[in-house]
A and B are shown apart, each in its own frame.
Chain A
Amino acid sequence: MRLQQFIMAQLSSTLLYIAFIIYLIATLVFALSLSDKKNKQAAYTKRWGRIGYGLSIIGFITQLGYFITRWVASGHAPVSNLFEFVTFFGMMMVFAFIVLYGIYRANALGVFAMPIALLIIAYGSMFPRDIAPLIPALKSDWLKIHVTTAALGEGILSISFIAGFIYLIRVVDQQLSSKKTKLIESIIYLLLCVLGFIIISAGSAAFHYETTFSWKGTKGEKLENVYTMPALIGPHNGEQLDDHFGPLVDAPSWINGKNAPKKLNTFVWSLLAGGVLYGLIRLILRKRIAAAIRPRLMNLNPDFIDEISYRSVAIGFPVFTLGALVFAMIWAQAAWTRYWGWDPKEVWALITFLFYAAYLHFRLSRGWHGEKSAWLCVIGFVIIMFNLVAVNLVVAGLHSYA
């Protein structure tokens, strides 16, 4: 029994790792498919696109293998902690991509969707990966039904961001620096920050870096925490208990929760690493990143991309509503005695719902197509990410995963 579970758990991690590699290759293949600028070599584009698509599907099936084996190993659907949920969300994004690519056959979608899904999966892998038991409130069939449907909805809605983002890179004039080009660059920068976070986390873990601080909290209580990234920012008036590298500065006095200085340190590291990555790429390209990508997208018809973006919302919105609100309410009624309780995660699901409802009304009744619509999709993705990450890590409520 014990051995079997151990094997399953090992197999599961391996499968996730393999899926990750396949996604990476698929991304490169999709990128190759775009590198041809001339229309006449359509066959070339088509061939590479087909290979990329095939790889995406194989990768997805591999990740599905991870999901199933982990389910077997733990005895419950692996969507119960941040690692499991975030990687599952990445998987649903790949699935949504597979569906929409199946309809529209747009290689550009793969070039952006796959790396962002990769980024999300890698980000999820930075959280503790142990198979954890379920607390009584989570022991319900509705856990899997609610979480998986919500993640699927969010995955499909994310594709609308991907398409919207492609639209913006394709359409916004890159001749001159403008507010819009700056915004696009900052989105790219933020994505690079996530990559930066992953690199620093993985790097620190590889060197087993750890340093411990002790300091006083607001009520004079003694707090202690272990940093797993080199300490740039220590706690306010904190004392370092070992002689490892650190801290360059102290956190402001109001950041004094148990985990707050550590989170601030991580946050600053991510911004710095993102900055370095962005700077390096700019140095190599010698122009704005979006300006470098844009020529490769010139074959795309903007209306076509706009339609993909809208279609993703049209497909994703009902799925999201069903998973994140309807199923959530049914479960909440059984687990917490009320279908709605204004818990932060619930509220942010409602905000996401309201936001996309507003999007649909802008589009259908006020004729917001194209660029405006694409910017809205970017904001929508920010809201989804906020609900996925910040609400759990910063706001927390009933949904705070261990």
Chain B
Amino acid sequence: MKKKQKRLVLRSVLLLVIALAVGYTLYNTVFKDTSGNVQVGDQAPNFELTTLNGEKVKLSDFKGKKGVFLNFWGTWCDPCKREMPYMEELYKQYRDKGIEILAVDVGEASISVSDFKKRLHLSFPILMDDSKDVTRLYGIGPIPTTLLINADGKIIEKTSDSLSKEKIEEYMKRIKP
């Protein structure tokens, strides 16, 4: 009888291990968005870029201090253009409440970007990713893509939607330290 029980335990364990492994694989392949290298829940990889005004900005500058609204965009992209005014509006409201917006332009000519900035009266820092190294590091596919990074440096949201004002405000509240 003992032997029989042992067999049952063995069988159960083996089947369980297989079920777990298969479940995990299925979860990863079919149900989880694995596009890009950086996923929700990860620590946001640090980087250093130069703004349009020539200042160097490190992501780690904000760690422990501010939540970062990290937006990847381009001047040619209409959805980006739509969300920019909302970002600007809310930036004014939230910049003193522990929120920083970093808008990373994915490899455009600085002339085009500064013209765009002037036209839309943007005041948040625009980072120039000339080589697109950071864009690739974050595995950004379509733009706009927005990542929410809380004050601990953890990514808590990633979206490629064109955002409404309400949505942006909701996001800002979420990363407020």
Direct contact of A and B (CB under 8 A): no
Show the binding face of A for B, using Cβ within 8 Å.
none
Show the binding face of B for A, using Cβ within 8 Å.
none
